[in-house]
Every structure is written in C-alpha cells, then in structure tokens.
Amino acid sequence: MWPCLSYSFQRKYRQIADGLPLERYVNDFVNGRLNSASWGTWGENVASCVWTRGKKANFLLLRFEDMTQDTRSGLAHVAELLSLSVTDDLIDRAIINCSAERMRQLEKLEENQWAATRKHRKDIPL
C-alpha cells in the first residue's frame, strides 16, 4: 500500500515522471533507490519509527493498514495515548470528517489556499 500511495503523491507533486512504470517505482521504493532530501527513503522512515520507540511506553506505532482495517480501534488507541476522553460519537464524527472522500472534497475546495498544495498537479487526486 505504501508504495502505491507514494507513487501517486510523488507524481502529483512532480517528483517523478508520469512515464515511470509502477512496477519499477515499487521496486525502487522498497529497495531504497528513491530518496527525498525532505523525508529520506522508505526504509529510513520505518527504521526511524522503530528506533524512536525503543522501550518507551508512550509511543504508538500505528500502521496505515491497521487504521484502514479497524479505524475505530486505531483512533481509540491514539486518544488513550494522548489521555483524551472521547465518546463513540466523537470517534464517528472524526472518521466521517477524515474519510478519503471528505479529504478529496477539502483538497479541491482549498487547493489554492495552502503553500503545500498550491503548486501540485490538479489532475491527480490523492
């Protein structure tokens, strides 16, 4: 999942060419041949999360796959880590307001208001 999302993101922000085959991108992505001065390789990102955790009890490693499989439980873990008292209704509203569909609506509505999205390609939705 990570490589596919990153492929779309990097095309949208003009960091890779449109013609780069997805299979090559995934291979390069997973094997550390794609690098960004801003965030490094996929392996560096994963390693930084694992290293940061160490033996700290107040670190939550929450994978994208975990959140898509059981969003409610993932948000409950985040709230617990942050010592937030939340209701089921609040979690339901967060899930609705942060859905991919809602984020796409907001991106379209506000794409020219933010420095991070002003210059990105408008023809590739995230």
| pLDDT at residue 85, rounded to an integer | 94
At 39 the pLDDT is 67
Residue 75 has a pLDDT of 95
Q: What is the DSSP string of 77-126?
A: HHHHHTT----HHHHHHHHHHTSHHHHHHHHHHHTTTSHHHHTS-SSS--
89-107 pLDDT tens trace:
999 999 999 998 898 888 8
Average pLDDT value for residue range 47-67? 82
Question: What's the whole-model pTM score?
Answer: 0.58
Query: What pLDDT score does 33 carry?
Result: 80
